[in-house]
Structure 1
């Protein structure tokens, strides 16, 4: 008794998904390799000046890899889809599928699962892997810095208090010039503390050294100078890795960290709009890749006689790059507080989806 043949739909789904995934992975490897080379050209000299050697270069490249891969994923998806669809069109595979009754919408549906898989991998990369790797890189870079006191200062808020840190050293275990501005429930200044340094130990937590301060009563307009103290325990929930994260500027954050910042449970140096826009953009990553796939679809209409002389792949590539640029510009406006987070993330998807569908319908009716 002969074995029943596989369902042709599943065979086609496996073929198209495998072809798309292979080309996206290939494009990601090429783009990430180029970005790694450019990053190492810039950082090799500082790494060698710190006497970290070849091991330091290797560590830097490995810890930087997830961040570069996350940034290259949208462009890799666009180029991978263009390569696959163009090759299938020039090899008459698209014509054969059309003759078998497969429509443009049907072809797109077969490519959706692989694209969603890439998008979900991007979410995991952005949410879990990249924040950890960038945190490790920042801590390692700070720990090996021969002159950490030349690092930049930064502000953040913890609860109702505003805190200024002069610099971070020893991977976050030493802080220089700590200024704490405590505020009451009405956000009125109640006390200031100024310490020369702060040190962290696992057993005793944070300790402030060479401490001075002021006791402020704005209602009675009174200011009393506090006695000088050689050292004092610092009651804060922040750990050394938190100061490394805060000193890194707009470092990648996990969803749990963002939600903690929005709820006021974690220290933050970012505006709520910036955090909300980042959260929305992260979970819209699969939708963005589906739009890029839709932008690449018109290459299946390359005329057989034109072949590789067609400009259609170039136009599709330009449209995809325009989508990525516009998405980045609106996100930057959302980060600056000029646009609400939903307006900074969703309209680009809608506009380019409608534009791509218009191009596909126009080609279908020719």
Structure 2
């Protein structure tokens, strides 16, 4: 008897989860395809100017794909859930399920596994796949740049050192205009070093060339004789400088934790890093909120059909949630809000709003 009673539940769970997963992946494929086309329209000319040809276009599109998929997943969950629930409601499937005793909350519970799976996929993409693909893309783009001197300068800090690089070339293996400033434990400037360039080799590490040093001891300043070359004792690698030279590159959780503990160089504030880490692991919860915001479409009146405005209102609520989360995150990045305040309140507010709307419809 137990097997007979649970079998229909498992069948319904597989049916609903499979349908939701399929709709979300279909929506994601369309969104990613559109974003790929827009990205290629912007980058095809520079790629062809570098004489990379069709291979370069395909390389760029392939390396950019994980970043686009990770960015499209939240909106895909919203659109996929709206498509699935609207189709089921208009086809009277929801009426049949409700007549068989399935409540609105029972339906939501059976959609949770697929939503969590999609959320975990987003976390894996954000945390492991996207940082690697974007770093490989940045290194390839830098290596094929015929004019790397047009790149922008950037600052970084590593332990007690502050550094500045004029530009990066050869996929991160050559640094031009390297400045290093060493501080005392009290934060006072102890030494300033300038190297015209630094080259990386696997055998010897970083080799600085044409070095000028200034040492500071209290009120005394000494300019040391120039050096032709010397080895730079550092744990940094070419891929670290590729990451530092990029604007807001995706970071893995291990890299973020290393930056927060001072083991890895960083050009971001601790609040920015903490907010990014917290938001990443709250991604499944955000997917659950988006699913909840799509649920009111099951109350579309049968006579209204496709003329109902309920899907439009649900889509607007989901977009408002995505925008609000982005604004709160931007305020957290700017240091105006603590990381928990920049990530958690939006989830709670929109969850309460969606639950209120569902309970009102359920009471009618």
TM category (shorter chain) comes to over 0.9
1:190 aligned to 2:197?
A: no
Which residue is 1:55 aligned to?
Answer: 55
Classify the secondary structure of the residue corresponding to 1:328.
helix
Classify the secondary structure of the residue corresponding to 2:12.
helix
Q: 2:280 aligns with which of 264, 279, 282?
A: 282
Which residue is 1:22 aligned to?
Answer: 22
For residue 184 of structure 1, report the CA deviation from its aligned partner: 1.3
Classify the secondary structure of the residue corresponding to 2:164.
strand
Deviations 1:69-91 (A, max 9, x none): 01000000000000000000000
1:74 aligned to 2:97?
A: no
For residue 4 of structure 1, report the CA deviation from its aligned partner: 6.7
1:302 aligned to 2:270?
A: no
Which residue is 1:105 aligned to?
Answer: 105
Which residue is 1:149 aligned to?
Answer: 149
Q: 1:248 aligns with which of 212, 228, 246?
A: 246
Q: 1:314 aligns with which of 306, 312, 315?
A: 312
Classify the secondary structure of the residue corresponding to 1:19.
helix
Whole-Å Cα distance in 1 between the matches of residues 228 and 119 of structure 2? 54
Which residue is 1:292 aligned to?
Answer: 290
Whole-Å Cα distance in 1 between the matches of residues 361 and 183 of structure 2? 64
TM-score scaled by length of structure 2: 0.98
1:346 aligned to 2:320?
A: no
Which residue is 2:264 aligned to?
Answer: 266
For residue 185 of structure 1, report the CA deviation from its aligned partner: 1.2
Whole-Å Cα distance in 2 between the matches of residues 269 and 228 of structure 1? 29
Whole-Å Cα distance in 1 between the matches of residues 142 and 344 of structure 2? 37
Whole-Å Cα distance in 1 between the matches of residues 141 and 335 of structure 2? 31
Structure 2, unmatched stretches of 5+, are: none
Classify the secondary structure of the residue corresponding to 1:7.
helix
Give the number of aligned pairs: 362
Whole-Å Cα distance in 1 between the matches of residues 273 and 224 of structure 2? 37
Classify the secondary structure of the residue corresponding to 1:227.
coil
For residue 249 of structure 1, report the CA deviation from its aligned partner: 2.1
Whole-Å Cα distance in 2 between the matches of residues 315 and 113 of structure 1? 25
Whole-Å Cα distance in 2 between the matches of residues 222 and 324 of structure 1? 56
For residue 6 of structure 1, report the CA deviation from its aligned partner: 6.9
Classify the secondary structure of the residue corresponding to 1:252.
coil
Whole-Å Cα distance in 2 between the matches of residues 216 and 74 of structure 1? 53
Which residue is 1:323 aligned to?
Answer: 321
Which residue is 2:216 aligned to?
Answer: 216
Superposition pairs for residues 154-165 of structure 1, below 5 Å?
Answer: 154-165=154-165
Deviations 1:158-192 (A, max 9, x none): 00111000000000000000000111111211000
TM-score scaled by length of structure 1: 0.98
Whole-Å Cα distance in 1 between the matches of residues 101 and 27 of structure 2? 31
Q: Which aligned runs of 4 or more in structure 1 are off by greater than 2 angstroms? A: 3-6
Classify the secondary structure of the residue corresponding to 2:224.
strand
Whole-Å Cα distance in 1 between the matches of residues 303 and 181 of structure 2? 73
Whole-Å Cα distance in 2 between the matches of residues 168 and 125 of structure 1? 27
Which residue is 2:139 aligned to?
Answer: 139
